[in-house]
Amino acid sequence: MGRRSDGVVYYKVRCPGGREITVPILFSFKGEESEEGVVATSFSPPGIVEILKKRQFFLIKENSRRRTVLVKGKVKWCKGNSCLFQLDEEVIEEKRFYERFVFCPEELGEFELHLKNGERIPVKVLDISMSGIKLLVERYGEKVSAGETLLLTQETRFLTVKVVRVEREKRGAVVGCKIVNTNFNLIGFIINRYIERVAQILESFSRST
């Protein structure tokens, strides 16, 4: 019958403001090993096969706290609802990039970062995970310093974040933070918006092919 396996494919998106991002799209399938590779069926999300046909992707072989092992793959052929995956070398990915949910700055709306001096500055989210968040600070980025613990808000949502690093850019600064705590269901917030983002990518890709 085959067992359920997971993979990830990276898809480049140009944002309305001109920034280019790479979105990791997670997918799953039922796979059976054969002499030629892996015969894959029952794909999720629907429509992902069309992207896999034209992009290199990775199967997730091992995922632990110590390391993540990905196996490079490509589609050799597809017949009906089945595809043959041809597998290549293994790749060890320490940072587990695919577990970060990447967005265009415009997608999640504007947040406010509350500084120690009482000022509130507008920021946007570039990527987010259960443990960290990367912010785009287009104005007043020079007022944010590594090591500070600050409040991040959007309407009734609150996150306490610790600034880990600040990278200066022409358009401001990119601020990487560790999430200390929140007052809302963070995983639900992330997943709902990630599903919307992937659905948009799949719809856009199907229209262009």
Give the separation between CA 44 and CA 121, rounded to whole angstroms: 40
pLDDT of residue 69: 83
pLDDT of residue 96: 59
Q: Which of 44, 35, 66 is nearest to 198 (CA)?
A: 44
Is it the case that residue 2 has pLDDT exceeding 80? no
Query: Would you state the structure tokens that stand for residue 173, as one six-digit string?
Result: 């600064």
Is it the case that residue 1 has pLDDT exceeding 60? no
pLDDT of residue 205: 86
Residues 187-202 have pLDDT tens digits of: 999 999 999 999 999 9
Query: Would you state the structure tokens that stand for residue 79, as one six-digit string?
Result: 């017949």
One-character DSSP codes across 16-27: TTS-EEEEEEEE
End-to-end CA distance of the chain: 32
Give the separation between CA 96 and CA 85, rounded to whole angstroms: 22
Residues 131-187 have pLDDT tens digits of: 999 999 998 888 899 999 999 999 999 999 999 999 988 778 999 999 999 999 999
Which CATH number describes the domain made up of 102-187? 2.40.10.220
Query: Would you state the structure tokens that stand for residue 28, as one six-digit string?
Result: 């799953």
- Judge whether 3-99 and 102-187 match in fold: no
Mean pLDDT score across all residues of the chain: 90
Is it the case that residue 99 has pLDDT exceeding 70? no
Phi-psi region of 207 (alpha: psi -120 to 50; beta: other; left: phi over 0): alpha
- How far is it between the farthest Cα atoms of the chain? 65
pLDDT of residue 146: 95
Query: For domain 3-99, which CATH number applies: 1.20.1300, 1.10.10, 1.10.3470, 2.30.110?
Result: 2.30.110
Q: Which of 154, 152, 178 is nearest to 165 (CA)?
A: 178
The CB density around residue 198, as the number of other CB atoms within 10 Å, is 20
- Give the pLDDT band of residue 93 (cuts 50, 70, 90): low
pTM: 0.83
What is the b/e burial string over 9-33, where b = at least 16 CB atoms within 10 angstroms of the residue's CB?
Answer: bebebeeeeeeebebbbbbbbbbee
Is it the case that residue 64 has pLDDT exceeding 80? no
Domain ranges of the chain: 3-99, 102-187
